[in-house]
A and B are shown apart, each in its own frame.
Chain A
Protein backbone atom coordinates (compact mmCIF):
# COMPACT_ATOMS: atom_id res chain seq x y z
CA UNK A 1 0.00 0.00 0.00
CA UNK A 2 2.86 2.37 0.79
CA UNK A 3 4.22 1.83 -2.74
CA UNK A 4 0.87 2.87 -4.25
CA UNK A 5 0.53 5.92 -2.02
CA UNK A 6 4.11 7.03 -2.66
CA UNK A 7 3.73 6.59 -6.43
CA UNK A 8 0.48 8.59 -6.32
CA UNK A 9 2.22 11.34 -4.32
CA UNK A 10 5.11 11.35 -6.83
CA UNK A 11 2.68 11.80 -9.74
CA UNK A 12 0.81 14.63 -7.99
CA UNK A 13 4.05 16.37 -6.96
CA UNK A 14 5.38 16.09 -10.54
CA UNK A 15 2.14 17.50 -11.96
CA UNK A 16 2.34 20.44 -9.53
CA UNK A 17 6.00 21.00 -10.44
CA UNK A 18 5.12 20.97 -14.15
CA UNK A 19 2.22 23.40 -13.63
CA UNK A 20 4.61 25.82 -11.90
CA UNK A 21 7.56 25.37 -14.29
CA UNK A 22 9.84 26.80 -15.56
CA UNK A 23 10.15 28.39 -12.13
CA UNK A 24 10.66 26.23 -9.07
CA UNK A 25 10.25 28.74 -6.27
CA UNK A 26 8.69 26.27 -3.86
CA UNK A 27 11.11 23.42 -4.56
CA UNK A 28 8.40 21.11 -5.91
CA UNK A 29 11.07 19.33 -7.93
CA UNK A 30 12.66 18.28 -4.63
CA UNK A 31 9.35 16.87 -3.41
CA UNK A 32 8.94 14.98 -6.72
CA UNK A 33 12.45 13.54 -6.56
CA UNK A 34 11.97 12.43 -2.93
CA UNK A 35 8.77 10.54 -3.75
CA UNK A 36 10.06 9.15 -7.06
CA UNK A 37 13.24 7.89 -5.40
CA UNK A 38 11.23 6.07 -2.73
CA UNK A 39 8.65 4.76 -5.23
CA UNK A 40 11.37 3.32 -7.48
CA UNK A 41 13.16 1.69 -4.54
CA UNK A 42 9.95 0.12 -3.21
CA UNK A 43 8.97 -1.04 -6.69
CA UNK A 44 12.31 -2.86 -6.96
CA UNK A 45 11.81 -4.26 -3.45
CA UNK A 46 8.29 -5.52 -4.30
CA UNK A 47 9.36 -7.03 -7.64
CA UNK A 48 12.30 -8.95 -6.12
CA UNK A 49 10.22 -10.13 -3.14
CA UNK A 50 7.38 -11.21 -5.45
CA UNK A 51 9.81 -13.07 -7.75
CA UNK A 52 11.53 -14.82 -4.85
CA UNK A 53 8.69 -15.48 -2.45
CA UNK A 54 5.46 -14.98 -4.42
CA UNK A 55 2.32 -14.00 -2.52
CA UNK A 56 0.47 -10.72 -2.89
CA UNK A 57 2.28 -7.96 -4.76
CA UNK A 58 0.56 -5.15 -2.86
CA UNK A 59 0.08 -5.42 0.87
CA UNK A 60 -3.28 -3.80 1.51
CA UNK A 61 -4.24 -3.60 5.17
CA UNK A 62 -4.53 -1.02 7.92
CA UNK A 63 -0.86 -1.29 8.95
CA UNK A 64 0.41 -0.83 5.38
CA UNK A 65 -1.97 2.10 4.87
CA UNK A 66 -0.75 3.70 8.10
CA UNK A 67 2.82 3.29 6.94
CA UNK A 68 1.92 4.77 3.54
CA UNK A 69 0.45 7.94 5.07
CA UNK A 70 3.36 8.20 7.52
CA UNK A 71 5.78 8.04 4.60
CA UNK A 72 3.85 10.77 2.76
CA UNK A 73 3.88 13.00 5.84
CA UNK A 74 7.58 12.42 6.40
CA UNK A 75 8.34 13.29 2.76
CA UNK A 76 6.32 16.50 3.12
CA UNK A 77 8.15 17.27 6.37
CA UNK A 78 11.59 16.88 4.72
CA UNK A 79 10.45 19.10 1.82
CA UNK A 80 9.05 21.73 4.22
CA UNK A 81 12.32 21.90 6.16
CA UNK A 82 14.26 22.35 2.90
CA UNK A 83 11.78 25.03 1.81
CA UNK A 84 12.00 26.96 5.08
CA UNK A 85 15.79 26.74 5.12
CA UNK A 86 16.03 28.10 1.57
CA UNK A 87 13.27 30.64 2.39
CA UNK A 88 12.49 31.71 -1.21
CA UNK A 89 10.04 34.43 -0.13
CA UNK A 90 12.51 35.70 2.51
CA UNK A 91 9.80 35.45 5.17
CA UNK A 92 12.02 33.82 7.83
CA UNK A 93 14.88 36.24 7.13
CA UNK A 94 12.45 39.14 7.45
CA UNK A 95 11.22 37.88 10.82
CA UNK A 96 14.75 37.36 12.10
CA UNK A 97 15.82 40.86 11.05
CA UNK A 98 13.04 42.48 13.11
Chain B
Protein backbone atom coordinates (compact mmCIF):
# COMPACT_ATOMS: atom_id res chain seq x y z
CA UNK B 1 0.00 0.00 0.00
CA UNK B 2 2.65 2.50 1.05
CA UNK B 3 5.49 0.43 2.46
CA UNK B 4 8.04 2.20 0.24
CA UNK B 5 7.49 5.44 2.19
CA UNK B 6 9.54 4.09 5.12
CA UNK B 7 12.73 3.58 3.02
CA UNK B 8 12.03 6.99 1.43
CA UNK B 9 11.96 8.53 4.93
CA UNK B 10 15.24 6.84 5.79
CA UNK B 11 16.73 7.95 2.46
CA UNK B 12 15.87 11.57 3.26
CA UNK B 13 17.60 11.29 6.65
CA UNK B 14 20.70 9.56 5.28
CA UNK B 15 20.95 12.07 2.43
CA UNK B 16 20.95 14.91 4.96
CA UNK B 17 23.50 12.99 7.06
CA UNK B 18 25.68 12.49 3.98
CA UNK B 19 25.66 16.22 3.21
CA UNK B 20 26.57 17.09 6.82
CA UNK B 21 29.43 14.55 6.87
CA UNK B 22 30.62 15.76 3.47
CA UNK B 23 30.83 19.35 4.74
CA UNK B 24 32.76 18.21 7.81
CA UNK B 25 35.18 16.28 5.64
CA UNK B 26 35.73 19.33 3.42
CA UNK B 27 36.36 21.49 6.48
CA UNK B 28 38.76 18.90 7.89
CA UNK B 29 40.68 18.82 4.61
CA UNK B 30 40.68 22.62 4.46
CA UNK B 31 42.17 22.84 7.94
CA UNK B 32 44.83 20.29 7.06
CA UNK B 33 43.47 17.85 9.60
CA UNK B 34 44.95 14.38 9.36
CA UNK B 35 42.55 12.64 11.69
CA UNK B 36 40.76 9.65 10.26
CA UNK B 37 37.96 7.50 11.57
CA UNK B 38 35.00 9.56 12.65
CA UNK B 39 34.49 11.68 9.58
CA UNK B 40 37.56 11.03 7.47
CA UNK B 41 38.72 8.15 5.35
CA UNK B 42 39.38 4.89 7.12
CA UNK B 43 41.61 2.01 6.05
CA UNK B 44 39.79 1.52 2.75
CA UNK B 45 40.52 5.08 1.69
CA UNK B 46 36.76 5.55 1.29
CA UNK B 47 35.23 8.49 3.12
CA UNK B 48 32.13 8.15 5.28
CA UNK B 49 30.24 10.44 2.93
CA UNK B 50 30.97 7.99 0.12
CA UNK B 51 29.86 5.04 2.23
CA UNK B 52 26.62 6.83 3.05
CA UNK B 53 26.29 7.44 -0.68
CA UNK B 54 26.07 3.66 -1.23
CA UNK B 55 23.21 3.45 1.27
CA UNK B 56 21.46 6.43 -0.29
CA UNK B 57 21.63 4.90 -3.74
CA UNK B 58 20.14 1.62 -2.54
CA UNK B 59 17.38 3.35 -0.56
CA UNK B 60 16.44 5.91 -3.24
CA UNK B 61 16.80 3.46 -6.12
CA UNK B 62 14.82 0.74 -4.40
CA UNK B 63 12.11 3.15 -3.26
CA UNK B 64 11.70 4.64 -6.75
CA UNK B 65 11.27 1.22 -8.34
CA UNK B 66 8.90 0.15 -5.55
CA UNK B 67 6.87 3.31 -6.13
CA UNK B 68 6.54 2.26 -9.79
CA UNK B 69 5.25 -1.13 -8.68
CA UNK B 70 2.65 0.61 -6.49
CA UNK B 71 1.58 2.77 -9.43
CA UNK B 72 1.30 -0.39 -11.56
CA UNK B 73 -0.95 -1.99 -8.95
CA UNK B 74 -3.10 1.15 -8.61
CA UNK B 75 -2.03 1.83 -5.02
CA UNK B 76 -0.43 5.17 -5.88
CA UNK B 77 -2.20 7.67 -8.13
CA UNK B 78 -1.09 11.06 -9.52
CA UNK B 79 -3.88 12.98 -7.78
CA UNK B 80 -4.42 13.76 -4.06
CA UNK B 81 -4.30 12.05 -1.66
CA UNK B 82 -1.96 10.03 -3.94
CA UNK B 83 -2.39 6.83 -1.90
CA UNK B 84 -5.64 5.04 -2.74
CA UNK B 85 -5.73 3.58 0.78
CA UNK B 86 -6.15 7.13 2.10
CA UNK B 87 -9.45 7.49 0.25
CA UNK B 88 -11.13 4.85 2.43
CA UNK B 89 -10.97 5.43 6.21
CA UNK B 90 -11.06 1.69 6.87
CA UNK B 91 -7.87 1.15 4.87
CA UNK B 92 -5.72 3.68 6.71
CA UNK B 93 -5.10 1.35 9.65
CA UNK B 94 -3.95 -1.59 7.49
CA UNK B 95 -1.79 0.83 5.46
CA UNK B 96 -0.03 2.05 8.61
CA UNK B 97 0.37 -1.56 9.78
CA UNK B 98 1.94 -2.47 6.45
CA UNK B 99 4.34 0.46 6.74
CA UNK B 100 5.28 -0.64 10.27
CA UNK B 101 5.94 -4.25 9.22
CA UNK B 102 6.94 -4.44 5.53
CA UNK B 103 8.35 -0.91 5.30
CA UNK B 104 10.44 -1.04 8.46
CA UNK B 105 11.72 -4.54 7.58
CA UNK B 106 12.74 -3.36 4.08
CA UNK B 107 14.60 -0.32 5.40
CA UNK B 108 16.26 -2.42 8.11
CA UNK B 109 17.45 -5.18 5.76
CA UNK B 110 18.85 -2.68 3.23
CA UNK B 111 20.72 -0.94 6.06
CA UNK B 112 22.08 -4.25 7.36
CA UNK B 113 23.26 -5.24 3.85
CA UNK B 114 24.97 -1.85 3.54
CA UNK B 115 26.64 -2.31 6.96
CA UNK B 116 27.91 -5.73 5.84
CA UNK B 117 29.35 -4.20 2.64
CA UNK B 118 31.15 -1.52 4.69
CA UNK B 119 32.53 -4.06 7.21
CA UNK B 120 33.68 -6.47 4.46
CA UNK B 121 35.39 -3.60 2.60
CA UNK B 122 37.15 -2.60 5.83
CA UNK B 123 38.26 -6.14 6.64
CA UNK B 124 39.57 -6.74 3.12
CA UNK B 125 41.49 -3.46 3.20
CA UNK B 126 43.06 -4.40 6.55
CA UNK B 127 44.00 -7.82 5.19
CA UNK B 128 46.03 -6.14 2.40
CA UNK B 129 48.53 -3.94 4.28
CA UNK B 130 50.58 -1.49 2.25
CA UNK B 131 48.31 -1.81 -0.74
CA UNK B 132 46.22 1.19 -1.62
CA UNK B 133 42.63 0.17 -2.15
CA UNK B 134 40.62 1.90 -4.84
CA UNK B 135 36.91 1.53 -4.69
CA UNK B 136 35.03 2.14 -7.89
CA UNK B 137 31.72 3.89 -7.45
CA UNK B 138 32.81 5.31 -4.15
CA UNK B 139 31.61 8.74 -5.08
CA UNK B 140 28.35 10.11 -3.82
Contact = CB atoms under 8 A, between A and B. Distances in A.
B69 interface: yes
Interface string A37-48: 111111111001
Contact of B62 (A24, A38, A70, A74): A38
Contacts of A75: 61, 65
B61 A40 contact: no
B109 interface: yes
Interface stretch (B22-30, B51-59, B80-88, B121-129): B51-59
B57 A17 contact: no
A41 B58 CA distance: 10
A30 interface: yes
Interface residues of A, number: 33
B48 interface: no
Nearest to A68: B69
B62 A41 contact: yes
6 contacts: A23-B136, A24-B136, A38-B66, A40-B110, A45-B3, A48-B101
Interface of B: 3-4, 7, 54, 57-66, 68-69, 72, 101-102, 105-106, 109-110, 113, 134-139
Given A35-B65, A38-B62, A40-B113, 11 more contacts: A17-B137, A29-B136, A33-B137, A37-B57, A37-B59, A37-B60, A37-B65, A40-B106, A41-B66, A45-B106, A67-B72
